[in-house]
Amino acid sequence: MPITSRASVKASIIYLALGAMLGVILLIDRWIPLGTAVSALRASHIQFLVVGWLTQFIIGVAWWLFPPLAIGLRDDSPLPVRRGQSQRGSEALFWMALAFLNTGILLRALFEPLHSWTKIGFFSILAGVSGLFLLAAAVLFVANLWSRVRELGKAKVSQGTSS
Amino acid sequence: MPPIARTFVKAAFVYFFVAFLLGALMMLDRWLDFSRWLRVVYMSQLHLLMVGWITQLGIGVAYWVFPRFLKEQDPRPRGSDTLAWFVLISLNAGLLLRFVIEPFYLMGAKPWLAALMALSGVLQALAAVGFGWIIWGRIRAMER
């Protein structure tokens, strides 16, 4: 598993644990009221589990397991000439997508409850901006992975006359 | 696919079916007015999908395909079976407890129902932490 996927999957598991803990707090609040502020944590609970856990986990595993890019395959060779990370696409773009995704998750999960508690308008803007980060992450990830959604072992790239 | 992973995935398929069945009944209820129960299972149905189906499928597949432990890390290739079974049982017990209790709670909030709901959350959170515990060491580079 490449370091890119490891970072994504490990982050997703941390969000799973955090999201589940917030779920426990929300449920305990129904039993023993912990204060009116607690209900604002619902947005963070959903964000952590749906985007932080599920989406980020899928992104990490897809980056690891999807067929490699067809680049560097010779017509006469069953094995790719280029191996490893270079056949997964742009590592830099993946890191950028991961950074945007996590920035978006944290902005939303922090500032939506903060805005609900304090009513400070700037916090609402920061929570709103999170959507742009998440959108950018989605675009970068899909653009980077798009060519790897292909039939395995069929698409070979001709590299001129084979010797 | 090891037996624990198969159980995770098969359980996920059952939740997938049940959640979609409930979803279909909830939609038909708007038209045919079946039962008031269908109006209080919205959150339960959502959790069947997000936890029972997608999360459980992810856990089962990760348990199956992630790199196995190196012998020097743990002689058992996928770590402790006991802990993996605990995760499975805790997750499903918590989810089912919530599924059964939440409609009653929404139709008449009582402290003991709320306490059982909190317990269902604790069971699911324990499963999440347990999964992190068993899988963390397996998130590693493959040996060459």
Per residue in A139-161, pLDDT (tens digit) is 999 999 998 888 876 555 544 43
- Provide the phi-psi class of A100: left if phi over 0, else alpha when psi is between -120 and 50, else beta: alpha
Question: So where are chain A's domains?
Answer: 3-148
Read off the pLDDT of each residue in B108-125 and give the average, rounded to a whole number: 94
- ipTM score: 0.89
Which secondary structure element, helix H or strand E, spans residue A65, and what is its range? Answer: helix A56-65
Residue corresponding to tokens 């995704």:
A101
CB atoms under 10 Å from CB of A105, counted, come to: 25
Decide if A62 touches B, using CB distance below 8 A: no
As a whole-number percent, the residues of chain B with pLDDT over 70 amount to 99
Which residue of A lies nearest to B53 if distances are taken between CA atoms? A54
Of the candidates A148, A108, A106, A100, which has an alpha carbon nearest to the alpha carbon of residue A127?
A108
DSSP state of B38: G
pLDDT given at position A163 = 33
Out of A10, A49, A65, closest to residue B50 by CB:
A49
Residues 6+ apart with CB under 8 A from B135: A13, B62, B63, B66
Of the candidates A145, A157, A154, which has an alpha carbon nearest to the alpha carbon of residue A65?
A145
Choose from B43, B49, B54, B135 for mutation: most chain A CBs within 10 A.
Answer: B54
Give how far A10 is from chain B: nearest CA, Å: 7
Question: So where are chain B's domains?
Answer: 3-136
Q: Which residues of B116-136 are buried (b: 16+ CB within 10 A; e: fewer)?
A: bbbbbbbbbbbbbbbbbbbbe
The string of pLDDT tens digits covering residues B18-46 is 999 999 898 888 888 777 788 888 889 99
What is the pTM (predicted TM-score) of this model?
0.88
pLDDT given at position A144 = 93
